[in-house]
Amino acid sequence: MDFKLTDEQQMIQAAARDFAEQQIAPVAAEHDVSGTFPLANIEAMGELGLMGIEVPEAYGGAGLDTIGYVLAMIEVSAADAAHGTIMSVNNSLFCNGILKYGTEAQKSTYVKAIASGEKIGAYALSEPQSGSDASSMKSRAVLSDDGSHYIINARKSWITSGPHARYLVLFASTNPEAGAKGISAFIIDTQTDGFSRGKTEPKLGIRASATCEIELSDYRCPVENRLGEEGEGFKIAMSVLDAGRIGIAAQAVGIAQAAYKASVSYARDRKAFGQEIGSFQMIQSKLADMKTRLEAARLLTLRAAWAKMEADKTGQRITLDGSMAKLFASEAAMWIAHQAVQLHGGMGYSKEMPVERYFRDAKITEIYEGTSEIQRLVIARTETGLR
Ligand code: CAA
């Protein structure tokens, strides 16, 4: 076993860190308060290769590996989790699925546009009445009589980057009687008739990442924009989420890292009862537990990234690795951010310091791309083989 990073992995980590420190961190609080989407930064991140890290250069990406992606996600999310959210959807949920299941034409057109940062991508699975129970979706796609296109009627919720996305990977049933095996995946152009957006959701955290409902009403999707075979959609949705969850685990590590770093610095500077608070054992105990959970989360996330790199060669599933990394890292981030607020006392509750933002941002990592409850269900089902 070798924990050393390759030259390329160190290079993308350093590039992401530099950009995050210089361009993201200074505007993070402002975007959090205003809730404005950081379009200029996202375009610049595309130019740096951060919007398609694992995408081959031929399709507009950086051509690096999953460990490189995780390292960059940690750096970006440590500066601002909302930038991390947008980055993870473009990389994991949009590009990854089309690279794995798409045709050459789909990769050349859609992956290229998103990986280069020229356009923004999104992933539409959840519906108003189906979140965790994803296969019970109501959205329908019906093949036209001449077989040239699908007529899609769909209502999807919680679409990250929805207000700004040009293309989406969307799931709808082509055969409702077949349940999960009747679901198919489609690439949707948001500039086509029949597509509309609902209001942007006001959110607790990751406020600069825009989220909305979308609706497709008699939307005509050319048959060549179906992703994979008919009925293969649920498998595509789940395997894309297996990889997506590694990105969310990395985002959680980034938030936890920022909360921990702020706490160490505050413990060194802040004085009470005549000494630095970091010399009190109750604060030391918090810092020791925060650091240990942070590094355990980082290792589990990097191991899941390595598992994905192996699986890309063997075709094996990484369901267990992705779920364990996301479950542990997201709960560690929430716990660490909670400790950070407590350790900062009144200043932890104030918008003058970023720890209250870390606390609000950490919460979403326990919810999206499968709640902690769903990750526990997936892990236990995989281990026992029982349902
Ligand atoms: N990879 C490949 N195939 C998979 C799979 C995976 N990870 N998981 C399931 N499948 C296959 C199964 O093998 C099964 O096929 P077979 O019958 O041929 O074996 C089929 O899919 C159905 O599987 P299940 O019976 O296990 O399906 P289920 O209805 O019981 O659901 C679930 C399982 C784990 C609960 C799943 O629905 C799930 O993960 N739910 C959570 C959904 C989720 O994460 N939503 C997040 C929304 S996206 C988001 O948050 C994006 C954002 O904007 C940031």
Residue 296 is part of a domain; what is its CATH number? 1.20.140.10
Boundary of a domain, candidates 231, 258, 290: 231
CA distance 297 to 329: 5
Q: Any idea how long the chain is?
A: 387
Residue 376 Cβ < 6 Å to ligand 1: no
The answer to whether residues 115 and 129 belong to one domain is no
User: Based on the domain organization, do 77 and 213 belong to the same domain?
Assistant: no
SS3 (DSSP) at 228:
coil
DSSP 124-153: E--BTTBSSSGGG---EEEE-TTSSEEEEE
Residues 168 and 268 in one domain: no
How far from 282 is each of 278, 285, 287, 330, 342, CA to CA, in Å?
9, 5, 9, 24, 11
Strand partners for 172: 184
Does this model's pTM top 0.75? yes
- Our answer on whether the CB atom of 180 is closer than 6 Å to any ligand 1 atom is yes
Same domain (yes/no): 249, 335: yes
Based on the fold, state whether residues 324 and 250 are members of the same structural domain.
yes
Rounded-to-integer distance, Cα 191 and Cα 175, Å? 27
**Ligand 1 center to 373 CA (angstroms):** 13
210 close to ligand 1 (CB < 6 Angstrom): no
Q: Which of 94, 119, 144 is the last residue in one of the domains?
A: 119
Q: Which tokens hold the place of 52?
A: 């398609």
Q: Is 160 in the pocket of ligand 1 (CB under 6 A)?
A: yes
377 and 249 inside one domain: yes
The answer to the question of residue 163 being in a domain is yes
Does residue 379 share a domain with residue 244? yes
Do 247 and 373 belong together in one domain?
yes
- Helix axis angle for 233-269 and 81-88, nearest 10°, is 160
CATH number of the domain to which 223 belongs: 2.40.110.10
- What's the number of domains the chain is made of? 3
- List 54, 75, 213, 369, catalytic entry: 369
Residues 141 and 32 in one domain: no
pLDDT digit string (tens) for the chain, length 387 residues: 889 999 999 999 999 999 999 999 999 999 999 999 999 999 999 999 999 999 999 999 999 999 999 999 999 999 999 999 999 999 999 999 999 999 999 999 999 999 999 999 999 999 999 999 999 999 999 999 999 999 999 999 999 999 999 999 999 999 999 999 999 999 999 999 999 999 999 999 999 999 999 999 999 999 999 999 999 999 999 999 999 999 999 999 999 999 999 999 999 999 999 999 999 999 999 999 999 999 999 999 999 999 999 999 999 999 999 999 999 999 999 999 999 999 999 999 999 999 999 999 999 999 999 999 999 999 999 999 998
Of 199, 231, 263, which residue sits at a domain end? 231
Q: Is 276 a catalytic residue?
A: no
* Residue 241 near residue 322, CB atoms below 8 Å: yes
Ligand 1, residue 122: give the atom nearest the CA.
53
- Asked if 252 and 294 sit in the same domain, the reply is yes
Question: Do residue 308 and residue 267 come from a single domain?
Answer: yes
Distance (Å, whole) CA 115 – CA 105:
15
Measured distance CA(196)–CA(155) in Å, rounded: 10
Residue 271 lies in a domain: yes
Which atom of ligand 1 is the closest one to the Cα of 88?
54
The pLDDT assigned to 1 comes to 85
Q: What is the pLDDT of residue 363?
A: 98
Regarding the beta carbon of 126 and ligand 1, being less than 6 Å apart is answered yes
Q: Which domain holds residue 111?
A: 7-119
